[in-house]
Amino acid sequence: MKIHHEPKFDIEKVIEHYSQKDGVPIRYVATTELEVHNLVGDVFYRETPHPEFGNRYFRLYHAANTLMIASADHIENYEFGMIESNNEWHYSKARHDFHYTPNGAIDGGRSYTRIIGTEYGLPNSTTMKVKDGEFVDV
């Protein structure tokens, strides 16, 4: 299953930096808003909890022109509506991220899911969640 992402940061550099800094493998999960509407960030995962903060997920984002890092363990509580286009699954990153594909569009981020079709009908769709750093079907 291939998922289309639109990260905000250079994820390879982030993975390299935090894997070296923390001494454990880090992997990219998704780019999404979580608790604050339209504050989109890149979410990363580590298998072992951070020794100081106890979280396995963290999110990097910009707020007021400042780079921020925060726990993102609650990503596992959210659903990701997905549509299929060009053999990839696409999702809306934020409540007002109307994401277009050749097969249709998806909107709503983690707040709701709205799917728009084309004159040929609705795109294939599914709902996924994040579990242990991977997308899984609900």
Q: What is the pLDDT of residue 30?
A: 98
Q: What is the pLDDT of residue 1?
A: 80
- Read off the amino acid at residue 133: G
Listed in sequence order, the residues at least 6 apart from 126 whose beta carbon sits closer than 8 Å to its beta carbon are: 81, 82, 84, 89, 137, 138
Listed in sequence order, the residues at least 6 apart from 94 whose beta carbon sits closer than 8 Å to its beta carbon are: 32, 33, 37, 38, 40, 109
8-22, 35-49, 67-81, 82-96: least confident range: 35-49
Residue 17 has pLDDT above 90, yes or no: yes
Q: What is the pLDDT of residue 78?
A: 97
Domain-wise residue ranges, the chain = 11-75, 78-137
Q: What is the pLDDT of residue 54?
A: 96
- Read off the amino acid at residue 101: T
Overall average pLDDT of the 106-124 stretch: 95
Binned at pLDDT 50, 70 and 90, residue 92 comes out as: very high
CA distance 4 to 20: 26
- As a residue count, the chain comes to 138
Q: What is the pLDDT of residue 64?
A: 87
Strand, helix or coil at 122? coil
Residue 108 has pLDDT above 80, yes or no: yes
Q: State pLDDT tens for residues 27-74.
A: 999 999 998 777 899 999 999 999 999 999 999 999 889 999 999 999
